[in-house]
């Protein structure tokens, strides 16, 4: 039997730095846990544009379709701001999501106890927080037609169209309900059914999927703006939140800051099962390319490493080793290890990107 395959796309900015620490973790699993992966690497984003004139070469897209999982670092930077919209670095990521049909975006917001004081909310509100936002990723207002900037009379008008089919809503709802069954069996669906027809359809379809297929899961509905307020008021009331592409983008970024740092948050984008039964999948940290600190060893690699932990869990059916990796990170943080984004005390010298990776490797060794 062949080894599971991973395509690594480090991307731009701090992407290559944080992904180098993931490569160390992958190598550790091969050497210490006999979990050997066939790893290849390619370009995406600005660096791909620099070499190929496109943010994602067709050959790279073909590789992504063939492997068991794609790990992506980050894309973009001010160097590419003046490019035409069609070749901006972010279009490479959007193409991966669209052509791999990665319709279910899992964005956990977990607050490690050691970092509860870094949240903008009170410690008792966020300590122990562990929620999952399931965002529909391949439809909605980011992809709907018509779209564009047009001339109407003497002025321009920008148009984006919110569009969802029943089947698109059904499949992401099933993803959320299945995930809830593995967690605390509770789903909150968020939309704007009070002012948007697409929201009315969303609520009706989610309710139908629940009633016919997942009656054992507790389901509630909430308007997305009220959901944003409740995330800031008492986020631990939620377990799994399922929502559309636009609201999922906004709500997951809001939830991200509850944990204290974007450098701590991974994500998974999952699609339909392949022939081997594994879902097509792309894993990436929520943070951006942070070009202002690129190459300085200041980046926090934890979000990218946690993204690999999600790959262990969702692509490689190895929850036990995902737990091991997450526990190693928790141990390192509890022992006081901090990168620059997590420092709250004057006079404390932060760990570099590679030093944090080494600390996690030491904790993994200690777990054996």
DSSP label of 63? H
Give the list of residues 6+ apart from residue 224 with CB closer than 8 angstroms, or none.
190, 191, 192, 243, 247, 250, 251
User: Annotated catalytic residue: which of 12, 42, 192, 244?
Assistant: 192
The answer to whether residue 142 is catalytic is: yes
Distance CA 256, CA 132 (A): 11
Quick one: which H or E segment has residue 59? helix 58-66
* Annotated catalytic residue 124: no
Task: Answer yes or no: are the C-beta atoms of 216 and 185 closer than 8 Å.
Answer: yes
The span from the CA of 300 to the CA of 331, in Å, is 16
DSSP 297-356: T----HHHHHHHHHHHHHTS--HHHHHHHHHHHHHHHHTT---GGG--STTPPPPPHHHH
Residues 6+ apart with CB under 8 A from 196: 162
Give the CA angle between residues 216, 185, 241 to the nearest 5°: 115
Token duo for residue 108: 């956990």
- Nearest-10 Cα torsion for 60, 62, 63, 64: 90
Residue 225 a catalytic site member: yes
Q: Is 38 a catalytic residue?
A: no
Residue among 142, 164, 214, 283 flagged as catalytic? 142
- The one catalytic residue in 225, 236, 323, 358 is 225
The H-or-E segment that residue 245 falls in is helix 245-258
Q: How many CB atoms lie within 10 A of CB 337?
A: 21
Cβ atoms within 10 Å of 317's Cβ, excluding its own: 12
Is 249 in the active site?
A: yes
From 253, 323, 327, 358, active-site residue: 253
| Those residues with Cβ within 8 angstroms of residue 155's Cβ, 6 or more apart along the chain or in another chain | none
| Ordered DSSP codes for 86-121 | GGSHHHHHHHHHHHTT--EEEEEEE--GGGGGGSSS
Strand partners, 188: 220, 241
Catalytic entry in 42, 239, 244, 249:
249
The residues that are catalytic are 142, 192, 225, 249, 253
């Amino acid at each position: 039997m062949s080894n599971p395959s991973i395509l690594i796309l480090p991307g731009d900015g701090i992407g290559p730095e944080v992904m180098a620490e993931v490569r160390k973790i992958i190598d550790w699993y091969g050497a210490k846990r006999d979990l050997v992966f066939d790893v290849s690497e390619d370009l995406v984003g600005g660096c791909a544009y620099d070499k190929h004139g496109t943010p994602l070469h067709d050959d790279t897209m073909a590789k992504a379709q063939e492997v068991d999982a794609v790990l992506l670092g980050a894309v973009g930077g001010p160097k590419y701001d003046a490019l035409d919209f069609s070749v901006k670095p972010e279009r490479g990521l959007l193409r991966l999501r669209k052509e791999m049909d990665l319709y279910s975006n899992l964005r956990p917001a977990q607050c490690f106890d050691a970092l509860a004081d870094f949240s903008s909310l009170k410690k008792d509100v966020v300590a122990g927080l562990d929620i999952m936002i399931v965002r529909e990723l391949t439809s909605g207002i980011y992809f709907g037609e018509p779209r564009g900037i047009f001339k109407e009379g003497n002025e321009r008008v920008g148009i984006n169209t919110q569009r969802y089919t029943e089947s698109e809503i059904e499949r992401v709802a099933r993803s959320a309900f299945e995930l809830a069954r593995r967690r605390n069996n509770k789903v909150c669906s968020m939309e704007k059914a009070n002012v948007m027809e697409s929201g009315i359809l969303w609520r009706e379809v989610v309710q139908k999927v629940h009633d016919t297929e997942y009656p054992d899961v507790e389901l509630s509905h909430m308007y997305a703006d009220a959901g944003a307020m409740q995330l800031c008021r008492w986020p631990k009331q939620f377990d799994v939140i399922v929502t559309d592409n636009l609201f999922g983008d906004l709500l997951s970024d809001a939830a991200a800051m509850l944990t204290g740092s974007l450098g701590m948050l991974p994500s998974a984008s999952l699609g339909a099962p392949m022939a081997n039964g594994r879902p097509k999948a792309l894993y990436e940290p929520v943070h951006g390319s942070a070009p202002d600190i690129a190459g300085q060893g200041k980046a926090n690699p934890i979000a990218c490493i946690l993204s690999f932990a999600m790959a262990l869990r969702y692509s490689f059916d190895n929850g036990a080793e995902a737990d091991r990796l997450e526990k190693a990170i928790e141990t390192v943080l509890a022992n006081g290890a901090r990168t620059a984004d997590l420092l709250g005390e004057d006079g404390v010298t932060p760990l570099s990107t590679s030093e944090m990776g080494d600390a996690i490797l030491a904790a993994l060794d200690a777990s054996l």
